[in-house]
């Protein structure tokens, strides 16, 4: 018997909807997207908007630092015990798609230590347009791009843009300065995504994350129904 062996039940083998004790686990939502598009800012704004109504925790996957976790801690969007950083060995897409074991440990540890939780946000490290989350890790995923990264990104498509459950096009306040055409981005996104939703956001104001928060509430309502 070692001191570091907490004696609670063994971890679930797969991403079952129920925890080992039979209770429903938290809804897990992944956030991916290119470097600098505003994933961490979106997570922070979601936490501030939803933390009074929901029990939330966050898992970050940084590329080579713990910057994202540190950002969330610095801005005190959640108590430190509700934020866990996963290290990815320079391959963020591997940790969220091909080998999800470290992320699954992190979400289960959070449920064990600070649960019961309603919602766990799993933020990917900034990656390219092909990064998507495994269905074994998250129940739904948000792909965050921004208007300053080029207004042709929705047209270019790729798995994140075309298949994510919600596409967020962030930094709309910058559109006039970088010459991005929001109407064109909306049309291209609709063309690539069919009926899947798109949210335009600007996080310079506190209500800016509203459309994303509403979508999360909808997902949670379906999860707990």
Partner 1 sequence: MSRAALLVLADGRFPAGGHAHSGGAEPAVKEGRIRNAEDLAEFCRGRLHTTGLTAAALAAAAAHGHDPLALDEAADARTPSPALRTVARKLGRQLMRAARATWPSPELAALARARPRGAHQPVVLGLTARAAGLGPEDAAHCVAYETVSGPATAVVRLLSLDPFEATAVLARLAPELDRIAEQATAAAHGTIDALPAACAPLLDITAEAHAAWPVRLFAS
Binding region: 33-40
Q: Verify binding: residue 186, partner 1, rule CB under 8 A.
A: no
Radius of gyration of the CA atoms of the chain, in A: 17
Cα–Cα distance measured from residue 46 to residue 212, given in angstroms and rounded to the nearest whole number: 8
Q: Verify binding: residue 128, partner 1, rule CB under 8 A.
A: no
Closest to 43 (Cα-Cα) out of 118, 108, 119: 119
CA angle 85, 63, 57 (to 5 degrees): 25
Cα–Cα distance measured from residue 212 to residue 199, given in angstroms and rounded to the nearest whole number: 7
| Minimum gap (Å) between residue 116 Cβ and partner 1 | 19
Is 12 or 190 the residue whose CB approaches partner 1 more closely?
A: 12
Among 51, 73, 75, 105, binds partner 1 (CB under 8 A): 105
| Minimum gap (Å) between residue 47 Cβ and partner 1 | 24
Is 40 or 172 the residue whose CB approaches partner 1 more closely?
A: 40
Cα–Cα distance measured from residue 167 to residue 74, given in angstroms and rounded to the nearest whole number: 27
For partner 1, the binding residues (CB under 8 A) are 2, 4-11, 13-14, 63-66, 87-91, 94-95, 98-102, 104-105
């Amino acid at each position: 018997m070692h001191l570091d062996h907490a004696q609670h039940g063994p971890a679930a083998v797969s991403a079952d909807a129920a925890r080992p004790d039979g209770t429903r686990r938290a809804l897990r939502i992944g956030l991916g997207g290119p470097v600098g598009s505003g994933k961490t800012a979106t997570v922070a704004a979601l936490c501030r908007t939803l933390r009074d109504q929901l029990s939330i925790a966050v898992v970050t996957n940084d590329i080579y630092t713990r910057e994202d976790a540190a950002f969330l801690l610095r801005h005190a969007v959640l108590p430190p015990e509700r934020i866990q950083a996963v290290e990815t060995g320079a391959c963020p897409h591997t940790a969220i798609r091909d080998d999800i074991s470290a992320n699954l440990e992190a979400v289960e540890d959070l449920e064990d230590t600070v649960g019961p939780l309603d919602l766990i946000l799993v933020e990917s490290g900034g990656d390219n347009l092909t990064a998507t989350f495994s269905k074994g890790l998250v129940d739904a995923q948000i792909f965050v791009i921004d208007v300053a990264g080029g207004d042709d990104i929705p047209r270019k498509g790729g798995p994140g843009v075309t298949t994510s459950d919600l596409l967020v096009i962030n930094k709309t306040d910058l559109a006039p300065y970088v010459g991005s055409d929001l109407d064109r981005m909306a049309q291209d996104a609709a063309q690539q995504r069919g009926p899947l939703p798109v949210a335009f956001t600007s996080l310079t104001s506190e209500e800016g994350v509203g459309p994303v928060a509403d979508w999360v509430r909808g997902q949670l309502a379906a999860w707990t129904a």
